[in-house]
Structure 1
Amino acid sequence: MSDETDPTTPVTSAPTAVLAANAVVACNEAARAEGVRRGMRRRDAQSRCPELRLVEHNPDRDARAFEPVVVAVEELRPGVAPLRPGLLAVYAPGRFYGGESSAGALIAEQLVRVGVWDCRIGIADDLFTAEQAARQAHPQDTVVVEAGGSAAFLRELPVSVIDDAEVAGLLRRLGLRTLGEFAQLDGSDVQARFGGYGAKVHRLARGEDDALLGARRPPPDLECQIRFEPPLDTAEAVGFSVRQTAERFVAQLAARGLVCTEVLIEAECDHEIASSRVWAHSRWFGASDLVDRVHWQLRGQLRNTMGVGKPVELVRFVPDTVEPTAAHAAGLWGGGTDERVERAVARVQGMLGHQAVTVPAVQGGRAPADRQAFVPWGERPVGLRPAELPWPGSLPPPAPARIYTEPRPVAVVDQRGKLVWVSERGVVSAPPTHFRTSDDGGNGGSPGWQPISAWAGPWPVDELWWENPASWVARFQIVGVDGRAWLMTCADDGWYIEAAYD
C-alpha cells in the first residue's frame, strides 16, 4: 500500500515543484498537469511550465510534514514503513476490515481527517507493483491487483516507471519500451549484461520483488493506571494507593533510559475524567514526586475533603515529555551541560511551533540583509545561497553590526548644501560632507546636520532590473565626526541608513 501525496509544499493551486541538485524530486497535481515529472531537470520543468513555483528540498521539513500521515495510518495498522515523504507502505489489513478495497477506503477516510485529500492507495503482492497501482488510482481511491497478477498488471507499463532515469534510458535505447518486453528477457542474460542491479530491476518488472518492509516500530505505551474497587473518597487514600503504580511508571521509563519531565495526571469518577492536569518538573519525576502531585491535584481543585467531589475510581499517569537519562546527568566538574540548553530551546519550540525558534546563518548576497538567513533550531541549513561565490557590488569587510529592519531616511549633502546623487555609471556628483537624519535613531545623536569625517564608495548594484525598475542602489560607508559609522544607500527615491557599524 502506498500513499502518493506531497506534504512538502503548502496546499496551493499554483504549479509547485521541489528541487534537489537542480532536479525535481516532488511536484503537486497542478505541476503534473503541465507535464512536470519527478527526475526532470529544472530547465526542462520550467520549459513545460513557465509559471512553475520552485521550492528548495529540505528533508527535515518534509519528514516533519509527513509524520502526521504516518501516525494516522499507524492508528489503523502498526508496522508502517515510510519510504520517503509522500510515500509509505504497510501490509494490507484487508482481513480486519472486510476486504482490501474496504481497508483502502478506511485508510483514505483516515487521511482525509488529517487534511490529506489527494491520497492514492495501491494493493498488490509486492511493493513495486503496489506503488505503480497507487499511481494509477484516482484521489481517495484504491487499485487492487489480484493475488498472482503483478506480472500481468506491470506488462503494459512503460519502462519510465522505473525510478532510475539512467536504467530507463538505456532500456529505451535498446528498443525495450514496456516492462513486459524487459521481463521477457532471460534472467541470466540480464545478469550478464546489466549486473546485479539490472537483475534486481528485472525481477521488479516480472512482479517478483521480494523486498521486505523496513517497518518502524510503534512507540511503546508508557502510561500506567490503577483502578480502585471500590472507589476511594479521600485524597490521602488515593495518594497511598497509587505509590506502587508511580514506582512502576518510573521504573519502566528507566528501563528504556528515559526520564519524565512533564506528566499528565488524570482522575476518573463515574467513568468520566473529573480531574486532568499536566505537571512539569525542573529535573525529572520520581515516584514520590508523582504521589505528591496526585495529592495536590485532588485536594486543590475544590475546597472540600476530596477535591473532585466524587469518589475516584481510576488514576492514570501519561508521560507528556520524556528525555534521555544521560541528558540529565551532572557534568564532570559539576554544573549543567549544554544538553540542558538544547532541551529548553526544544521545549520552547514545541510550545510555539518549529519555525518560532531560529538561529542565524550566513549566505551569499550583496546587501547585508540579503546575507542574513534564519534556520529553525535543530535543522540543517538548506537552500542557502553560497557565500563563497563572487557577488559583484557586495560590501568589503567588516560587516555591519546592526541591520535595520526598515531603512531610515537620511539626507546627505555636499559642501554647497546640495543633495549628493550618483549617476547610473556610479559617478558621485560631489564628495559628501554632511548628513542629517529625521531623528537620532535611538543612538543619542543630534537630529541636526553632522559633519562627515570619512566616506567610502559607492558600490552600485542593479539587481533584477527586469522585475523592479527601481532596484538600482549605490551604497556608501560614512563615518561621522563623533566616530560612529553607517552604511547608507542612495536610491532613486532618496538616501537611507541601511545598517550601522560598531
Structure 2
Amino acid sequence: MNVRTLVVLCPDWPVIATAASADEAVAVIGANRVTATSPAARAEGVEVGLRRRDAQRRCPALHIVDPDPDRDARVFASIAALVDRFTPRVELSSPGSLAFPTLGPSRYFGGDEPLAKMVASEIDDALGSSGWSDAVGVGVADGIFAATRAAELAVAQPDHVHVIAPGESAKFLSPFPVSVLGRPELADVLCRLGLRRLGDFAVLKVDDVVARFGVEGRFLHRLARGIDDRPSSLGPPPRSFDAESVIDPPAERVDIAAFAARAVADDLHDRLGAEGLACTRLLVVVETDSGERLERVWRHEGALSSTGIVDRVRWQLDGWLNGPSAQRPSGGISRLLLVPDEVMPARGRQHGFWGGETEADERASRALARVQGILGVAAVTVPERRGGRGPADVVVRAPFVGVDGDDDDDQGRGIAVDAPWPGRVPSPLPTLLPAELLPIQVLDARGAAVWVSGRGTLSSEPSTVRLDDAARGGVSIVGWAGPWPCDERWWDQLTHRRRARLQLALADGRALLVQIEQGSWSVEAIYD
C-alpha cells in the first residue's frame, strides 16, 4: 500500500549553498559538465549537461563553482530544521531534497494542501533574503516517486505546491517520459521499442517485464504504475542491529566525531552483511553532553555502504555543529546511535579472481578511509581520470572516497574522459610530470630554433634538443610526432593559453613531451 508522502525539492540547491545571489550567473561544474545552474545562468542558455567550454561560450561572465556535497549538506541542515516543526521524522535522501509521510501532520494541519502550503511558505521565507524565494517546490502524492515528480512541477507554480489526489498517482505519472526513471540504458531500450511514456510502460504485463528486464525492470515497472518504490521485500530489521558509540571526551569537531562514526558504521555494515541484509533507510541519532539531541532519517535508493553511512553522519554533524548559531548545540558530541530503519536482502558482491575488485582492495579502502577520518577529507587523495588535453589535465589528485563508496559521478566522468578534446595528445600518455616546466631548446639541422606557426605547422624538422646551455652539442632526435596545437579558453583574457605540443624520441633513449608557449620550449612530461 502506498504511503501519502510530502517531498520538498530544490533543484538549484548546489548553487544556493554557495551563498550566490539568484541574479548572479553561477554554475556548478563537475567532471567538466554542468550539474546545477542559477536562474540568471539559465537565462543565458547555460543548461545542465553542457560542457564547461560550451557553458562559458554562452555566458562569458559565468561564475563556476566546484561541487561540494559536504557544503551542500551543511547548509541544507538549516532547511531540514525548519520542517521539524511539522513532523519529528524528516527523511533526507540528498542535499536539496527531503520527504516525510503526511498521515499525522496532514490531520493536524487540516489536510495535505494546507500542510504543503505551510511548508512551502516556511522555506520560501527562509530563502527569500538571498533572492531564492521561488526556488523550492512541494509535492504530495502516493509514494515518494510520484511526490518527487509533483515537487518538480511545483517549482514553476505560483504557490510552489502540487498535490495529487489519493489513488491518482498512476494517472498523474502516465505522460512523463521514461527517462525520469533514472536508468538511461533502460530508457533507451524502451524508446526503441516505442514505449516512450511511463503510461506505455505501465500497461505491460509484469511477467513480460520480468522476463525481459529482470528484477530491476520489475522495480521500475512498479514506479511507472504509481506504486510505492519500496518493494515488498523491504521492511524493519528482523532483530535489533542498532550500533552505538560513546565518545569520551565529547567531540567538539566534526572530523573527530566522524572518525568515531567510521568504526560504528563498519560494525553495523558487517553485522547486516552477515545476515544477508542491506540498509536502505537509516536513523542517525546524535546527542551532546548537555543533553541536546538531533535525529535525522537518511534514505538511499540502493544499499548504504559503510562509507555512505559515514558520509551521512558527517553531513548531519557538520550541519549541526557549523550551522546557524541559533541551531548549534552548546556541548560536544558524546553519543552516536545508528538505527537501520529499513533493510532489504543484500544483492551481494562477487570478488574477482583475476582483475576487478578483490578483498585486498576492500581492506586498503577501509584503511585509507580511517586515515582520512583522522587527517581530514582532503588529506588522502588518489589519482582520478578526467577529461583534458595534456597529461596534467587528464589525471588529477582527488579526495579518496573509498572503493565501496557511493560515488555516483562515474558516468559523468566517463563522458568527460571519452569526449572529443581537440589538440589532445594521443595515448599512451607520459607518466612523469616535473614539478616545474623544464626549459629546453629544440633545434633543426642548421642549429636554428624550431617554432610552430599560427596554422599549427613546424618551421623546420626537429634535429636536436639542448636541455642545458653548457651542453653545446645537444642530444639528437631520432623520432618525433606532432605538433598538436591547442588554443584554450580563448574567450577569457586572463586564463587564455595558446600552445603546441611535440613528442620527441632522443638518441640517449629518453622520450619527452615538450610544448612551446609564447615562443619558448619546455619539457611538460617524460615517458617512462
Q: TM-score, normalised by structure 1?
A: 0.50
Q: TM-score, normalised by structure 2?
A: 0.48
Larger RCO: 1 or 2 (CA < 8 Å, sep 6+): 2
